[in-house]
């Protein structure tokens, strides 16, 4: 799957009440690091919810 970085940034920056994004994949594929990078780059808060 190709990630359209510009589309993701645009969607997040336009949202005034937060954005929910669901990422799925095998453990260790970089999902958490990806969202941490996006949050840091856009200077946005990131809230993580741990699953059991």
**pLDDT for residue 52:** 73
pLDDT at 1 over 60: no
CA–CA separation, 26 vs 28, rounded Å? 6
**pLDDT for residue 27:** 92
Q: Is the pTM of this model over 0.85?
A: no
9-47 pLDDT, tens per residue?
A: 887 788 777 777 788 899 999 988 988 988 898 888 888
Kindly list the domain boundaries of the chain, sorted by start residue. Answer: 5-41
Per-residue buried b or exposed e for 23-33, using 16+ beta carbons within 10 Å of the residue's own CB: eeeeeeeeeee
**pLDDT for residue 43:** 87
CA–CA separation, 52 vs 5, rounded Å? 30
Exposure on the CB side of residue 27, measured as CA atoms within 13 A: 1
**pLDDT for residue 2:** 65
């Amino acid at each position: 799957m190709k990630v359209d970085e510009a589309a993701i940034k645009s969607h997040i920056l336009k949202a005034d009440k937060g954005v929910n994004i669901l990422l799925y994949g095998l453990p260790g594929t970089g999902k958490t690091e990806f969202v941490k990078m996006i949050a840091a780059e856009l200077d946005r808060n990131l809230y993580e919810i741990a699953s059991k």
